[in-house]
């Protein structure tokens, strides 16, 4: 065991030196990117990407969500007004070598969370008085969701600081919807496969294909 201790210390020292060398290879003139997605439907977002090593970066994005969608008898889903927020986090590994900048082809996991608050009359029930025998009170709809995806994409320089990105992701979204006394209104209207449904809440799972087209500023 005493013989292994110097070997362990030497290996740890080598790993630290390699990691430090990777950090030193970062292009400090372009290791940050602020980006927006002008074509994103139903939300406005801002993201920040930061290089951690010469080939790995972390990205975090915040969004304000103003539109979501319900099931519909028509070919397209029915859009609904909401007030919501979202957060998106990812780690990217770039295929380029010895550049230290976030340009080229990349891949990695993406995690997201969303909170949506729908309008009070989102289910469009007929108006009734509390004294009516068929009166049904339904509370406001709240929806929480968790996303997990894997993305492939590329980011390129258009000029010294202007960037463009195209990425595709595939994963799944789990939704938890809650509205007092909503019952079957949840399963009839919310998009996804219901894995659990009760009087006041339901849980759904839905595939999550995504296409991201964004422009940014590198600095």
**Whole-number pLDDT of residue 18:** 42
- Which DSSP symbol is given to 52? S
25-29, 137-141, 142-146 — which is least confidently predicted?
Answer: 25-29
Distance CA 123, CA 47 (A): 33
pLDDT at 184: 94
**What is the domain partition of the chain in residue ranges?**
25-218
pLDDT in tens, 34-69: 999 998 989 999 999 999 998 999 999 999 999 999
Burial of 178 (0-12, 13-18, 19+ CB in 10 A): middle
Q: What is the CATH number of domain 25-218?
A: 2.40.160.20
**Average pLDDT score over residue span 183-202:** 96
Query: Residue 137: its pLDDT value, please?
Result: 85
pTM tops 0.85, yes or no: no
Q: What is the pLDDT of residue 28?
A: 83
- Region 179-206 average pLDDT: 96
Residue 7's pLDDT is 44
The arithmetic mean of pLDDT across residues 15-22, rounded, is 48
Q: What is the mean pLDDT of the chain?
A: 88
pLDDT for 100 equals 81
pLDDT at 13 over 60: no
Across 6-20, 108-122, 155-169, 193-207, least confident range: 6-20
Query: For the chain, what percent of residues have pLDDT higher than 90?
Result: 71
Give the mean pLDDT of 138-167: 96
pLDDT bucket at 163, cuts 50 / 70 / 90: very high
**Other beta carbons within 10 Å of 158:** 11
The DSSP code for 127 is: P
Q: Give the separation between CA 170 and CA 165, rounded to whole angstroms.
A: 17
* pLDDT tens digits, 64-94: 999 999 998 888 899 999 999 999 999 999 9
Summarize the confidence of residues 125-135 as an average pLDDT: 79
The DSSP output letter for 15 is H
């Amino acid at each position: 065991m005493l013989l292994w201790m110097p070997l362990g210390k030497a290996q740890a020292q080598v790993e630290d030196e390699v990691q430090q060398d990777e950090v030193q290879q970062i292009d400090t003139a372009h290791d940050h990117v602020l980006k927006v997605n002008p074509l994103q439907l139903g939300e406005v977002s801002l993201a920040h990407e930061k290089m951690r090593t010469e080939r790995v970066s972390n990205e975090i994005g915040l969004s304000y969500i103003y539109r979501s969608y319900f099931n519909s008898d028509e070919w397209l889903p029915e859009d609904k007004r909401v007030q919501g927020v979202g957060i998106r986090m990812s780690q990217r590994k770039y295929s380029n070598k010895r550049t230290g900048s976030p340009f080229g082809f990349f891949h990695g996991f993406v995690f997201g969370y969303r909170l949506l608050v729908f309008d009070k009359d989102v289910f469009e029930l007929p108006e009734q008085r509390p004294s009516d025998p068929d009166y049904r009170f339904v509370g406001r709809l709240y929806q929480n969701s968790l996303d997990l995806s894997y993305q492939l994409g590329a980011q390129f320089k258009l000029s010294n600081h202007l960037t463009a990105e195209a990425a595709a992701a595939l994963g799944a979204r789990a939704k938890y919807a809650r509205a007092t006394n909503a019952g079957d209104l949840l399963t009839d209207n919310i998009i996804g496969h219901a894995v659990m449904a009760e009087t006041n809440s339901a849980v759904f799972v839905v595939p999550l294909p995504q296409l991201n087209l964004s422009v940014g500023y590198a600095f």
